[in-house]
Homo-oligomer: A and B are copies of this chain.
Amino acid sequence: MKPTIAIIGGNGQMGRWFTRFFEDQGLEVLVADVGSPRTSQEVAAEADVVILAVPIPKVTEVAREVAPHLSPHAALMDLTSVKQRPMAVMMSAFPGEVVGTHPLFGPGEATIEGRTMVLCQGRGERWFQWLQDLLTQAGARVKITTAAEHDRLMAVVQGLAHFILIAFGTVIRDLGVSLEDLEEFSTPTFATLHNLTRRLLSQDAKLYACIQLQNPANRIALRALEGAVADILYFIQRQDADGLVRLIEELK
């Protein structure tokens, strides 16, 4: 029998994306969100797989709200960008199967084909295996890892990368250089970096703030960034060309 999916927070961007995704797989999807006709508890009670598609700071509250209503045979899952804390919350709120997921793509993607989806096994085999098979058959690249390892890698892949782009955007704004001049005098490298920055800044600011604030591993990456900035500035301030050349060559 085909499982029924409940998506809590189903009106958010990723919630809508996965509603469509599961429906395209021929599954019934029940959706709850603020102001929806049915409450989170109602849809959670009827589903085999309950997916929390809420922002990271909401996971604790919503997991505790719905968990008592889940069937003991159901699975509780999330879609958030960090994994240690949300999984710990889901594990303590619900005694049944738990899977943490993180889609490494945004709601702008047309299909899941070739996109990466990280899975972290919380508790249980059955729904973990089901999800892995479903995603793989749909063409996704499924990566399985622990919550701690996920967060350690995402501190670089998301935390550090986004931090750098936000800083880049801040400097361009602060220097008051006109966007027209920047475009007219652009290099291929600058154009790519500037486009990445503008695309990131055009998206959901709350999501990007959460990604900065909620991953405990970011702290180490950001401390390393402060160190790297200081190292490069050291050579620039001393006009030490040889030192800077060596620093760059050691990165090859």
Which of A's residues lie within 8 Å of B, judged by CB? 57, 104-106, 116, 118, 143, 145, 150, 152-154, 156-158, 160-175, 177, 181-182, 184-190, 192-193, 196, 199-202, 205-206, 208-210, 212-213, 218, 220-222, 224-229, 231-233, 235-236, 239, 241, 244-245, 247-252
Contacts and interface: CB of A to CB of B under 8 A. Distances in A.
Nearest to A141: B184
Given A208-B248, A244-B209, A182 B153 contact: yes
Number of copies: 2
A44 to B, nearest CB: 26
Given A190-B161, A201-B248, A248-B208, A156 B177 contact: yes
B229 A104 contact: no
Contacts of A116: 184-187
A181 B106 CA distance: 20
Given A174-B227, A221-B175, A228-B167, A213 B241 contact: yes
A154 B185 CA distance: 8
A193 B163 CA distance: 12
A153 B181 contact: yes
Given A182-B157, A213-B236, A231 B193 contact: no
A227 to B, nearest CB: 7
Contact of A249 (B156, B199, B205, B244): B205
Contacts of A193: 161, 164-165, 193, 196
B161 A189 contact: yes
A175 B231 CA distance: 15
Contact of A209 (B150, B164, B166, B248): B248
A87 to B, nearest CB: 17
A206 B81 CA distance: 39
29 contacts: A116-B184, A116-B186, A116-B187, A150-B185, A152-B177, A153-B182, A156-B172, A156-B177, A156-B182, A161-B168, A161-B190, A161-B193, A163-B232, A167-B228, A169-B251, A173-B250, A174-B228, A189-B196, A189-B199, A189-B200, A193-B196, A201-B248, A205-B245, A205-B248, A209-B235, A209-B245, A212-B244, A213-B241, A222-B236
B143 A184 contact: yes
A94 to B, nearest CB: 26
A42 B233 CA distance: 41
